[in-house]
């Protein structure tokens, strides 16, 4: 118990948790904790806290104590205590002080570290004995336990992807493990509690391996063996039994290995399972493995093994597929474009083959549209070994699809689409009076789920699925609003820094396949350090700071950010501007030639130098927060001078384009004195184009902000609500359930864009670029939460500690319900225009947060909060507010 005299029994600590989001296998870095509070007394604030760390759950052996700390922070707080050791279990608790006194201690939380040092590893990487070997070897090891296990952990990973089984039960509920990272420097080690899977007597640990990202065909040029020529398993099973005796079962050359029923398994192409080659019971003790070979040890640097820090890929949803029989196939019609696979229940006969092909959309004649897949075969096939009913699921692959077709003589009884994603908890909800806008929101949710598969991918279906840095930075803010993405991005940013080139350049994709094998790039293109792509190095961490108050990520990435900003500076070689070179530009500008998406209207040099200025700007802010003042000044100076020069020499030409105006306004390239003029120019261009989208990947996320922050809400809404071709809502009418890569992916006449691309001869067999699941344009959601929903985070009090409540009703939208589950709790605003024309809203703020009210007023408005008159601009704290504005401002479109 806390030994402070006055008690605050009205305040409760809720959801006390660590940054890890899991209890075991965590890394050895400082444990950061956060908590939510609730109080029955209004007006209370946290004025202090105390955190204790202990090696026992009763807190008898305290190993760290912050004692009383003053302050209102409730998240990202480092815990006291010595550095954690491998396998250590530690408990934490917090007590909070309000003006009324101390709360009781929170419930304790526990973390257990994984294996942190090379010296902890006794297991070896093992595989089969051929060079490129079996597509998917299986491995097993039988062992005897003479006493019941009290505690057992398995630490495992693979070169490739793998599943582990103990006595026939799969360990964990995730897929595609260990996921994709900068493998040579960081290969994720996973920890599972397997105590309940073991028993006295004979036990078997078994594993299946596949190429995955390690060895499989992957990347721009469909190259193979990006990381290595051999796949291998690493497993270290540590058991303590009831007599406290320790046993370790290591993967080593005493394991047995065999070929398996999986005859092909490729992320792009799908898998082929020949059940006739299956070896029933191979995961169980009774199985006779005397004909199997011994496994072979493989070399891999054990210092690369690092505990997993973000969620693995899990099943997130299931959808029934409608089965439509045709004479030559069965069409499986889906309702949602997903990443995942088809689970089939069939009644068949031995020897029958079942082939499942996947596609995102159907051609007008009902055939699957597979051109968009390029060279990804996205085909799963099964050969049955017995008669009767059975359920078929592919392995070690995933497809981006909504529909599928099945060719078989077997009878299909049921088809289910299984959706997977790197599980990140939902954070944002927004519903408005406009159904199409709601579907757009839903589509962005799905594009995020579908493209957060281990890494943030550009798209989940074609022979690409790479961590394109440009798409990632464009979508970061939106992703941070919709889901609790902090661990996901932190993890990816570690790889971004690891894969940074020696000169500080960031690659176009992370993990960077081209850094490993530069010869596999598109000939003649050096794609490192490209504007708006490499800047993910600064933009993504800053977004985590804004949406999660994550100071730690700024500290962790500071060196990477500096290296990138310095690389840009060095690239100038003392000149004013960056040298002219190939840029992706405002990629996919819809007015660019269809086959040359980089030839955007806005001049590439303007884009390049503006993103450089923006990176310097962000870094100057980060230096002030976690770096040093001298550096802050240096980057601030670079930024100010560059902005001036850009505006002087490139500003006018750029501001003839909507992208140029948007970038110039949002990055502060436009001098203050000219903002009004440039914003008006942008608004005029948008009006001239009747709200039609004329920007690409870099400027589309900015344009609505550039309009509305400069007073042009009408034009912002005009763009948002446009339904004709080249708008967000156009795709809704065409049945989209995810965000498309091109606005006209399905043309007005219903035909599908051919997506041709101009590429270097020989670089791609059938160049095309026409994905139906690219999240970049979904970045508009960030604008919607801030301006339609009316809740925005503030950089000055990040992590939604202070929110700006600024809903802007329009003639098109008369209600919105917006909720964001922040680290402090649920922040919600539910507003509508009442029958009498008043703006009415219910605002709920969690303990520890404040809101700055910027309500939609006119000169004639009066504002009331809980019946009392208030002024606009008022700051309110924890509580529930019934707000009313008479004669509100309604934006007309
Ligand atoms: C990807 C994009 C990416 C672009 C850059 C495309 O193939 O799908 O999303 O940003 O290449 O070149």
Instruction: Please state the φ and ψ torsions of residue 153, each to the nearest 5 degrees.
Output: -125, 140
- Ligand 1 within 6 A of 463 CB? no
Q: pLDDT by residue (tens digit) across 87-137? A: 999 999 999 999 999 999 999 999 999 999 999 999 999 999 865 567 899
Query: Which among 373, 470, 473 is the best mutation to test ligand 1's pocket, defined by most ligand atoms within 8 Å of the CB?
Result: 470
Please provide the DSSP assignment of 236-285 as one string: EEEEEETT--EEEEE-STTSEEE--SEEEEETTTEEEEEGGG--TTTTST
Sign of the alpha-carbon dihedral angle for 124, 129, 133, 137: negative
CA–centroid distance, residue 842 to ligand 1 (Å): 42
Q: Cβ(275)–Cβ(385) under 8 Å?
A: yes
Which ligand 1 atom minimizes the distance to the CA of 468?
10
Which residues touch 706 (CB under 8 Å, ≥6 apart)?
Answer: 661, 662, 665, 666, 679, 682
Nearest residue (by CA) to ligand 1, atom 9, is 458
Asked if residue 622 has pLDDT above 90, the reply is yes
Would you state the pLDDT for residue 769?
84
How many A from CA of 583 to the centre of ligand 1? 12
Q: Which atom of ligand 1 is nearest to the CA of 774?
A: 9
E strand or H helix at 412, and its extent?
Answer: strand 411-422
Q: What are the tens digits of pLDDT across the range 286-310? A: 999 999 999 999 999 999 999 999 9
CA of 469 to the centre of ligand 1 (A): 9
Q: Is the CB of 292 under 6 A from ligand 1?
A: no
Measured CA to CA, the distance from residue 154 to residue 646 in angstroms comes to 56
Please identify, by atom number, the ligand 1 atom nearest to the C-alpha of residue 533: 10
Given a cut of 60, whether residue 250 has pLDDT beyond it is yes
Is 755's pLDDT higher than 90?
A: no
Give the model confidence (pLDDT) of 557-580 as tens digits: 999 999 999 999 999 999 999 999
Q: Is the CB of 261 under 6 A from ligand 1?
A: no
From the list 741, 802, 821, 840, the catalytic residue is 741
When pLDDT is cut at 50, 70 and 90, the band that residue 761 belongs to is: very low
In angstroms, rounded to a whole number, what is the distance separating the alpha carbons of residues 603 and 660? 8
435's CB contacts (< 8 A; 6+ apart) are none
Q: From the candidates 238, 464, 546, 666, which is the catalytic residue? A: 464
Q: Could you tell me which residues come within 8 angstroms of residue 447 by beta carbon, excluding any fewer than 6 positions away?
A: 738, 739, 773, 774, 775, 778
Please state the atom number of ligand 1 nearest to the C-alpha of residue 508. 5
Query: In angstroms, rounded to a whole number, what is the distance separating the alpha carbons of residues 233 and 228?
Result: 13
CA distance 277 to 260: 6
Phi, psi of 598 (to 5 degrees): -80, -15
Q: What is the pLDDT of residue 43?
A: 84
**For ligand 1, atom 2, which residue shows the shortest CA distance?**
458
Q: Could you tell me how many residues make up the chain?
A: 893
Average pLDDT over residues 186-204: 98
731 within ligand 1 shell (Cβ under 6 A): no
CB 198 within 8 A of CB 182: no
pLDDT at 684 exceeding the cut of 60: yes
Bridge partners (DSSP) of residue 170 are: 165
Instruction: Provide the pLDDT confidence category of residue 519 given band limits of 50, 70 and 90.
Output: low
DSSP class of residue 162 equals E
Residue in the structure block whose two tokens are 């073991």: 198
Ligand 1 center to 275 CA (angstroms): 38
Which atom of ligand 1 is nearest to 598's Cα?
Answer: 12
Find out whether the beta carbon of 534 lies less than 6 Å from any atom of ligand 1. no
d(CA 213, CA 131): 17
pLDDT (mean) for 751-774? 72
Cβ within 8 Å of residue 715, ≥6 positions away: 682, 683, 686, 687, 691, 707
Ligand 1 centroid, distance to 575 Cα (angstroms): 30
Tell the residue nearest (CA) to atom 12 of ligand 1.
584
Q: Give the tokens for residue 431.
A: 């519903």
Taking only the tens place, the pLDDT of each residue in 592-611 is: 887 888 999 999 999 999 99
Q: How far apart are CA 577 and CA 575, in angstroms?
A: 6
| Beta carbon of 535 within 6 Å of any ligand 1 atom | no
Q: Is 586 in the pocket of ligand 1 (CB under 6 A)?
A: no
Which secondary-structure segment (H or E) carries 332?
A: strand 330-333
Task: Specify burial of residue 533 (Cβ count, 10 A radius: 0-12, 13-18, 19+).
Answer: buried
> CB under 8 Å to 533, separation ≥6 — which residues?
468, 469, 470, 473, 506, 508, 527, 584
Q: Ligand 1 mean position to 134 CA, how many Å?
A: 33
**Upper half-sphere CA count for residue 63 (Cβ side, 13 Å):** 16
- The mean pLDDT of 222-241, rounded to a whole number, is 94
Specify the residue for token string 């897949």: 373
The atom of ligand 1 lying closest to the CA of 469 is 10
CA neighbours within 13 Å on the CB side: how many for 414? 12
* Rounded mean pLDDT, 213-232: 90
169, pLDDT greater than 80? yes
Looking at ligand 1, which atom is closest to the CA of residue 527? 12
What is the 511 CA–ligand 1 centroid distance (Å)? 14
- Tell me the CA–centroid distance for residue 780 and ligand 1, in Å: 19
- For residue 556, give the H/E element and its range: helix 551-571
In this prediction, residue 201 carries a pLDDT of: 97
pLDDT per residue as tens digits for the range 383-392: 999 999 999 9
Examine the residue annotation and report whether 741 is marked as an active-site residue of this protein: yes
In whole angstroms, what is the distance from residue 320 CA to residue 714 CA?
41
Report d(CA 399, CA 271) in Å as an integer: 11
Tell how strand 379-383 and strand 353-359 pair up: antiparallel
How far apart (Å, rounded) are the C-alpha atoms in residues 51 and 66? Answer: 5
Quick one: how far is CA 642 from the chain centroid?
32
pLDDT in the model for residue 223: 86
Residue nearest to atom 8 of ligand 1 (CA): 458
First to last CA, the chain: 60
pLDDT of residue 208: 97
Task: For residue 220, name the pLDDT band (cuts at 50, 70, 90).
Answer: confident
pLDDT value, residue 1 = 44
Q: How far is CA 697 from the centre of its chain?
A: 18
Q: Is the pLDDT of residue 499 over 50?
A: yes
Q: List the beta bridge partners of residue 248.
A: 238
**DSSP 8-class letter at 514:** H
Average the pLDDT over each of 222-231, 412-421, 842-851, 878-887 and give the range with the smallest value: 222-231
Whose Cα sits closest to atom 5 in ligand 1? 584
For residue 870, which phi and psi values (nearest 5 degrees)?
-135, 170
Q: Ligand 1 pocket, 458 CB below 6 A? A: yes
Instruction: Please report the atom of ligand 1 found closest to the CA of residue 776.
Output: 9
Burial 490-514 (b: 16+ CB within 10 A, else e): bbbbbbbbbbbbeebbbbbbbbbbb
| pLDDT for position 757 | 67
Q: What mean pLDDT value characterizes the chain?
A: 95
What separation in Å is there between the alpha carbon of 158 and the centre of ligand 1? Answer: 29
Say if ligand 1 is within 6 A of residue 270 CB. no
Q: Give 468 Cα–ligand 1 centroid separation in angstroms.
A: 6
Residue minimizing CA distance to atom 7 of ligand 1: 769
Q: What is the atom index within ligand 1 of the atom nearest the CA of 697?
A: 10
Residue owning the nearest CA to atom 11 of ligand 1: 468
Any residues with CB less than 8 A from the CB of 279 and at least 6 apart, and which? 138, 258, 260, 261, 287
Model pLDDT, residue 759: 54
Evaluate if residue 23 carries a pLDDT over 90.
Answer: no
CA 599/CA 587 separation, integer angstroms = 8
Please tell me the distance between residue 657's alpha carbon and the centre of ligand 1 in angstroms: 22
For this structure, is 242 an active site residue? Answer: no
pLDDT at 74: 97
Closest by CA position to 68, among listed 82, 47, 43, 92 = 47
Nearest CA to ligand 1 atom 1: 458
Give the pLDDT mean for 799-820: 97
Kindly state if the Cβ of 128 falls inside 6 Å of ligand 1: no
- DSSP structure class, residue 324: E
Structure tokens at 843: 């605002």
Which residues are within 8 A (CB) of 695 and not within 5 positions of it... i.e. 6 or more apart?
Answer: 586, 589, 658, 659, 662, 702, 703
Q: Looking at 127-136, 307-316, 488-497, 500-509, which range is the least confident one? A: 127-136
CA–CA distance, 578 with 156 (Å, rounded to integer):
46
Quick one: pLDDT band at residue 518, thresholds 50, 70, 90? low
Share of the chain above pLDDT 90, in %: 90
């Amino acid at each position: 118990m806390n030994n402070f005299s006055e008690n605050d029994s009205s305040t409760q600590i809720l959801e006390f948790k660590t940054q890890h989001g899991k209890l075991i296998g965590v890394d050895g870095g400082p444990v950061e904790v956060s908590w939510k509070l609730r109080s029955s007394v209004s007006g209370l604030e946290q004025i202090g806290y105390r955190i204790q760390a202990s090696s026992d759950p009763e807190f008898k052996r305290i190993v760290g104590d912050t004692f009383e700390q003053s302050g209102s922070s409730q998240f990202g707080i480092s815990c006291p205590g010595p550095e954690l050791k491998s396998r250590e279990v530690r408990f934490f608790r917090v007590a909070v002080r309000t003006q009324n006194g101390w709360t009781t201690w929170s419930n304790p939380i526990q973390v257990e570290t994984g294996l942190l040092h090379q010296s902890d590893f006794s297991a070896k990487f093992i595989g089969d004995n051929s060079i490129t070997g079996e597509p998917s070897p299986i491995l097993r090891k039988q062992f005897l336990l003479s006493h019941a296990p009290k505690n057992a952990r398995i630490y495992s990973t693979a070169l490739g992807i793998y599943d582990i089984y103990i006595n026939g039960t799969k360990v964990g509920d995730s897929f595609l493990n260990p996921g994709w990272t900068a493998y040579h420097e960081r290969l994720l080690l996973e920890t599972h509690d397997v105590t309940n899977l073991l028993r006295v007597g004979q036990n078997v640990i078994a594993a299946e391996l596949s190429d995955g990202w390690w060895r499989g065909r992957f990347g721009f040029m469909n190259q193979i063996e990006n990381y290595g020529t051999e796949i291998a398993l690493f497993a270290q099973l540590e058991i303590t039994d009831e007599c406290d005796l320790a046993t370790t079962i290591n993967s080593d050359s005493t394991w047995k290995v065999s070929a398996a029923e999986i005859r092909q398994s490729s992320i792009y192409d799908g898998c082929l399972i020949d059940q006739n080659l299956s070896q029933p019971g191979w995961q169980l003790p009774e199985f006779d493995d005397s004909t199997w070979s011994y496994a072979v040890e493989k070399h891999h640097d054990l210092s690369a093994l690092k505990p997993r820090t973000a969620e693995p890929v899990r099943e997130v949803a299931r959808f029934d597929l409608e089965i439509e029989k045709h004479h030559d196939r069965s069409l499986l019609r889906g309702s949602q474009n997903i990443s995942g696979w088809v689970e089939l229940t069939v009644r068949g006969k031995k020897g029958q083959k079942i082939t499942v092909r996947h596609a995102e959309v159907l051609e007008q004649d009902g055939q699957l549209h597979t051109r968009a897949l390029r060279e990804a075969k996205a085909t799963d096939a099964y050969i049955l070994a017995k008669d009767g009913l059975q359920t078929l699921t592919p392995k070690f692959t995933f497809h981006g699809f909504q529909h599928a077709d099945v060719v078989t003589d077997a009878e299909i009884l049921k088809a289910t689409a299984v959706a997977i994603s790197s599980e990140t908890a939902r954070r944002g909800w927004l519903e408005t009076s406009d159904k199409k806008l709601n579907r757009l929101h839903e589509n962005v949710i799905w594009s995020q789920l579908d493209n957060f598969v281990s890494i943030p991918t550009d798209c989940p279906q074609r022979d690409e699925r790479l961590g394109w840095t440009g798409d990632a930075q464009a979508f970061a803010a939106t992703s941070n609003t919709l889901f609790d993405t902090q661990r996901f991005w932190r993890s990816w940013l570690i790889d971004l820094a690891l894969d940074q080139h020696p000169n500080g350049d960031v690659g176009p994709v992370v993990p960077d396949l081209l850094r490993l094998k530069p010869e596999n790039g598109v000939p003649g293109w050096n794609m490192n350090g490209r504007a708006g792509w490499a800047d993910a190095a600064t933009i993504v961490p800053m977004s985590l700071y804004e949406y999660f108050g994550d100071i730690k990520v700024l500290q962790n990435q500071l060196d990477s950010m500096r290296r990138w900003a310095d690389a840009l500076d060095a690239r100038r070689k003392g000149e004013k501007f960056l040298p002219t070179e190939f840029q992706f530009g405002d990629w996919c500008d819809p007015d660019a030639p269809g086959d040359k998406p980089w030839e955007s209207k806005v001049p590439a040099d303007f884009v390049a130098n503006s993103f450089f200025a923006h990176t310097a700007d962000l870094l100057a802010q980060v230096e002030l927060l976690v770096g040093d003042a001298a550096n802050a000044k240096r980057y601030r100076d670079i930024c100010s001078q560059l902005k001036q020069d850009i505006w002087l020499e490139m500003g006018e030409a750029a501001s003839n384009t909507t992208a140029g105006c948007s970038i110039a306004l949002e990055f502060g390239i436009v001098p203050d004195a000219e903002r009004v003029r440039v914003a008006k120019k942008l608004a005029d261009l948008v009006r001239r184009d009747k709200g039609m989208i004329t920007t690409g990947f870099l400027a589309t996320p900015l344009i609505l902000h550039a309009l509305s922050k400069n007073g042009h809400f009408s034009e912002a809404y005009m763009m948002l609500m446009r339904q004709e071709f080249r708008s967000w809502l156009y795709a809704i009418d065409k049945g989209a359930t995810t965000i498309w890569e091109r606005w006209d992916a399905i043309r007005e006449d219903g035909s599908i864009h051919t997506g041709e691309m101009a590429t270097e001869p020989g670089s791609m067999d059938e160049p095309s670029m026409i994905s139906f699941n690219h999240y970049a344009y979904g970045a508009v959601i960030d604008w919607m939460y801030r301006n339609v929903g009316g809740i925005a985070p503030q950089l000055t009090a990040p992590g939604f500690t202070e929110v700006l409540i600024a809903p802007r009703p329009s003639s098109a939208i008369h209600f919105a319900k917006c909720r964001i589950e922040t680290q402090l709790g649920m922040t919600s605003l539910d507003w509508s225009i009442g029958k009498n024309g008043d703006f009415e809203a219910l605002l709920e703020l969690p303990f520890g947060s404040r809101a700055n009210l910027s309500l939609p007023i006119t000169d004639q408005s009066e504002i009331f909060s809980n019946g009392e008159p208030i002024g606009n601009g008022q700051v309110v704290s924890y509580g529930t507010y019934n707000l009313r504005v008479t004669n509100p401002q309604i934006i007309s479109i």
